[in-house]
Chain A
Amino acid sequence: MKILRTVNTALRALRRNPMRAFLTTLGIVIGVGAVIAMMEIGEGSSAVLKKQIASLGANNLIVLPGAAASTGVSFGGGTSTTLTPQDCVAIIRDCPAIRAGAPIVRVRGQVVYGNKNWVPNTISGTTPEFLNVRDWTELTDGEMFGDRDVANANRVCVVGQTIVRELFGGISPVKARAQIRIQNVAFTVVGVLSSKGANMMGMDQDDVILAPWTTVKFRMSGTAASATAASAASASSDTSSAVNSLSDLYPSKSVALYPTPSAIQAADTPVPVRFTNVDQVLVAARSAPEIPTAIDQMTDLLRERHRINLAMGEVDDFNIRDMTEMTKMLSSTTTLMTNLLLGVALISLIVGGVGIMNIMLVSVTERTREIGLRMAVGARSRDIMRQFLVEAVVLCLVGGALGIALGVGGSILVTALLHWPVQTSPTAIILAVVVSAAVGILFGFYPAWRASRLDPIEALRYE
C-alpha cells in the first residue's frame, strides 16, 4: 500500500521529465540489451562450438573386448572374442545416455584400383550408423551404404578423400561405379566422404574405407573370422554360405571330416551357435556431461549380457575408453565462453549503473527545493530516501524491460540478417531483471542518501 503510493509518486516524478528519465535509463537499456543479445548470440555460438568439438569425437566412447588369457598367459587387449554386434544393438536400445552406436571390424591391407595401389590407414567394417556416431553425415558424392547392404554382406564401400586422391586421381569414382579390390575382394564405391582432416594425434582421418561389417567380417578378415563365418554358415545362414562360395577365389576350406548331418540329426543335436564377434563398438553419448552415465549404463548392460559375476571374482571382458582430453577441451571452452560473456555483461551494467547514479545526483541537486519543500511539509529523511531509491529502481526496471525487448529484438535481427546462430536464454532475462534492480538499489543509494541528508532550511533557500 505504502510502497505502491511511493512507486506512484516516483512514476509521477519521472513523468515530469520524460526525456531525462529516458536518457537516464538509456544506459541500462543498452546495458541489459547488450547483455541479452550477447548471451543469446554467445549461447548460440557456444552451442555450435560444442557441436563442432563433439564432431571431433569428444562424445565418443569406444568399447573394446578385453584380453583373452590361456594358462596365465595374457594375449593383450582386444584379444577376447566376446564382443558381438548384438551387444551393440542392445547398447543402443537399452542405454538412454547413448545417442548412437556402430560395431567396427578392422582389417588392414592393400587396395588396388587399375594400375594404382594404396594401403589405407583404416579399413572399417561397420553399419551406416557409423557416420552418425562420428558426426560425419555429409558425403561429397554418392551415398552411404544401407542396412540392407549390411544384412546381405554386399560388396560396397564408401571412401575418404585421401583414397579418392591416391587411387582415383581426385576424380569421384561414384559415377563410374568403380570397383576396387581389397585383399582380392572387389568392392563397388558407392559414396565419397566429406573431408575431415587429421585427428588430434595427427592421423589422417580421410585415409579410410568403410564397408558393411558383414562383408568385411565374412569375406575378408583373417582366419579366425572365416572360421566363425563357417560355423555360422553351417548353423543356418544360407546367405553367408552363398557369399563364401562366391567370394573365395581360391577356396581354402578344409575338407569336411564328417558327413553333413540330416535335418533331423541337426534338430536332435543343436549346435550352440556362437555369434560372430566384432573388434570394437563405437558409441556416442548424448552430451559431454552424460559421458559418465553412459559408461555406467554400458558397463552394467555388458556385464549382464556377458554374465560376468564380479562377486565370484570374474573380471570384465571389455574395456570402455573415453576421449578425456577432448572432453576437457570441450568443457574448458564452454567455461571460457561463459566467463567472457559474463565479464562483458558486468562491465556494461556497471557503466549503465554509473550513468544512473550520475543523473540521479544531478536530479537531487536540481530538485533540492522540492526536497526542502517535502521535508517542510513533513517528509522524514527516510521518506525522501525511499522516494529517490524507488525512483532509481523503477528507472532501472523500466530500463531493464526495454533492454530485454531491445536485446531479444537485436538477436532476432542478427539471426535474420547475419544468419548467426542464436539461442534464447531465459537465464539471461531473469539475470538481467535481477541485476538491473540491484544496479538501481546500489547506484541509487548514494544519491538517495545525499537527498535525505539535506537540511530543509538550506534546501528551501537553494537557488
Chain B
Amino acid sequence: MALIELIDLYKTYYIGDIDVPVLKGITLTIEHGELVALMGASGSGKSTLMNILGCLDRPTSGQYWLDGEEASGLTGDQRAMVRNRKIGFVFQSFNLLARTSALENVMMPLSYTAVHLSDREARDRAQKALTLVGLSDREHHHPSQLSGGQQQRVAIARALINDPPLLFADEPTGNLDSHTSEEVLQMFEKLNREKGITIILVTHDAGIAQHARRIIHIKDGLIEGPGQAVPAPAGAAGAGGKR
C-alpha cells in the first residue's frame, strides 16, 4: 500500500465572489521510503499541495489517502493528531522557539500527544533525536547560539521526535549557504536511506531537487509530465501521475 495517494484532487479558494482554482485535479502516488522533490514556480499551486499533503489544509474535492487513512474529511483536531503522529515538518526559517534550549525545542511536540511519557522518557527521546542529527553536544544551546545549519538540524530532530513515516521539508535550504545546504541535504538522504523515512522536498531550486530520486513538477495546478524517472530503491516505484 502506498503512503500517499491523491485521487483527482481539487482545491479552490473563494475570494469574494470570484473562484480561484489552485489545484485542478491532481492524481499522485508516493510510496513508502521515497525521496521526492516537489518543484514548481511560485503561484503554481506547489504550496497549496504541500499544505494539503501535510494535513494543514483540506481539499475542496477529491480523495487523499495517507497511510491507509482517508485524510480529506478529517476535522481540525483529527488533522492535528495526524500531523503529530505521521508527519514531520522542516521549514525554511527553522521556526525554533527563541531563548529555549535545543533539547526543549525538540521535546515540544511531545507535550501535545505523548502525555503518557514521563519527563525523563521525553528527554531521552529528544536526546536520541539530537544524536541522530549529530548535535548531542549542543542540547543546552539556545537557537541564537547555533549556526544556521545547526538550527536546521535541531528542526529536523524536532520533526523526527514522534518517528513519523513522512517528513516535509519546505525550502529547507532557503536560508542556508551552499555548504551547509549540502550538509542538510545529505542528512535527508541519510535519514531516507537508513531509517526509510519518506521525504518530500518542496523547492524551486533544480540543484536541490537533484538530490531527490524523483521530481514532481507542478504547473498551473496540474502535475506536469509523468515525473522525472530517477532510479528508486526497491519497492518504491517512481510511478507518478497516473496509477
Residues of A within 8 A of B (CB): 1-2, 5-6, 9, 12, 15-17, 369-370, 372-383, 456-457, 460
Within the complex, the shortest CB–CB distance from A311 to chain B, in Å, comes to 74
- Among B86-113, those with CB < 8 Å from A are 89, 91, 95, 97-100, 104, 108-109, 111-113
- A376 and B115 contact, CB distance less than 8 A: no
Contact of B80 among A17, A378, A457 (CB under 8 A): A378
| Contact A2:B95 (CB < 8 A) given known A16-B100, A377-B108, A378-B85 | no
Within the complex, the shortest CB–CB distance from A6 to chain B, in Å, comes to 8
State in angstroms the CA–CA spacing of A336 and B93 once bound together.
61
- Among B48-86, those with CB < 8 Å from A are 51, 54, 56-57, 76-77, 80-81, 83-85
The count of chain B contact residues (Cβ–Cβ below 8 Å) is 28
- B113 and A378 contact, CB distance less than 8 A: yes
- A381 and B56 contact, CB distance less than 8 A: no
- B95 and A460 contact, CB distance less than 8 A: yes
- B112 and A383 contact, CB distance less than 8 A: yes
Chain A contacts of B89 at CB under 8 A?
A: 376-377
- A9 and B111 contact, CB distance less than 8 A: yes
Within the complex, the shortest CB–CB distance from A455 to chain B, in Å, comes to 9
Chain B contacts of A15 at CB under 8 A?
A: 99
| Contact A376:B111 (CB < 8 A) given known A12-B100, A16-B98, A16-B99 | no
Chain B contacts of A377 at CB under 8 A?
A: 83-84, 89, 108-109, 112, 158-159
Contact of B76 among A9, A370, A373, A381 (CB under 8 A): A381
Chain B contacts of A456 at CB under 8 A?
A: 56
State in angstroms the CA–CA spacing of A378 and B78 once bound together.
9
Within the complex, the shortest CB–CB distance from A58 to chain B, in Å, comes to 62
By CB atoms of chain A within 10 A, which of B76, B108, B158 has the most? Answer: B108
- A2 and B104 contact, CB distance less than 8 A: no
- B98 and A376 contact, CB distance less than 8 A: no
State in angstroms the CA–CA spacing of A457 and B111 once bound together.
21
- B112 and A457 contact, CB distance less than 8 A: no
State in angstroms the CA–CA spacing of A5 and B81 once bound together.
19
Chain A contacts of B91 at CB under 8 A?
A: 373, 460
Within the complex, the shortest CB–CB distance from B158 to chain A, in Å, comes to 7
**What is the chain B residue whose CB lies nearest that of A375?**
B80
Can you list 11 A-B contacts (CB < 8 A)? Answer: A12-B104, A369-B95, A378-B85, A378-B112, A378-B113, A379-B112, A380-B81, A381-B76, A457-B51, A460-B56, A460-B91
State in angstroms the CA–CA spacing of A1 and B116 once bound together.
9
- Among B154-180, those with CB < 8 Å from A are 158-159, 162
Q: Interface SS of chain A: helix, strand, loop or mixed? A: helix
- B112 and A376 contact, CB distance less than 8 A: no
- A380 and B80 contact, CB distance less than 8 A: yes
State in angstroms the CA–CA spacing of A460 and B89 once bound together.
11
Chain A contacts of B57 at CB under 8 A?
A: 457
State in angstroms the CA–CA spacing of A460 and B56 once bound together.
10
State in angstroms the CA–CA spacing of A374 and B105 once bound together.
11
Chain A contacts of B99 at CB under 8 A?
A: 15-17
State in angstroms the CA–CA spacing of A2 and B188 once bound together.
34
| Contact A376:B83 (CB < 8 A) given known A5-B115, A457-B57 | yes
Within the complex, the shortest CB–CB distance from A241 to chain B, in Å, comes to 95
- A379 and B104 contact, CB distance less than 8 A: no
State in angstroms the CA–CA spacing of A372 and B56 once bound together.
10
Within the complex, the shortest CB–CB distance from A213 to chain B, in Å, comes to 81
- A381 and B85 contact, CB distance less than 8 A: no
State in angstroms the CA–CA spacing of A457 and B48 once bound together.
10
Within the complex, the shortest CB–CB distance from B118 to chain A, in Å, comes to 10
Within the complex, the shortest CB–CB distance from B77 to chain A, in Å, comes to 4
Chain A contacts of B85 at CB under 8 A?
A: 378
Within the complex, the shortest CB–CB distance from A222 to chain B, in Å, comes to 93
**What is the chain B residue whose CB lies nearest that of A367?**
B97
State in angstroms the CA–CA spacing of A1 and B51 once bound together.
33
Chain B contacts of A378 at CB under 8 A?
A: 80-81, 83-85, 109, 112-113, 162
Chain A contacts of B80 at CB under 8 A?
A: 375, 378-381, 383
Closest 4 CB pairs of A and B: A378-B84, A377-B109, A16-B99, A380-B80
Chain B contacts of A17 at CB under 8 A?
A: 99
- B115 and A2 contact, CB distance less than 8 A: yes
Chain B contacts of A383 at CB under 8 A?
A: 80, 112
Within the complex, the shortest CB–CB distance from A459 to chain B, in Å, comes to 10
**What is the chain B residue whose CB lies nearest that of A379?**
B112
Contacts A15-B99, A378-B112 given; 17 further ones with Cβ under 8 A?
A17-B99, A369-B95, A370-B97, A373-B95, A373-B97, A375-B83, A376-B83, A377-B84, A377-B108, A377-B109, A377-B112, A377-B159, A378-B83, A379-B80, A379-B112, A380-B81, A382-B77
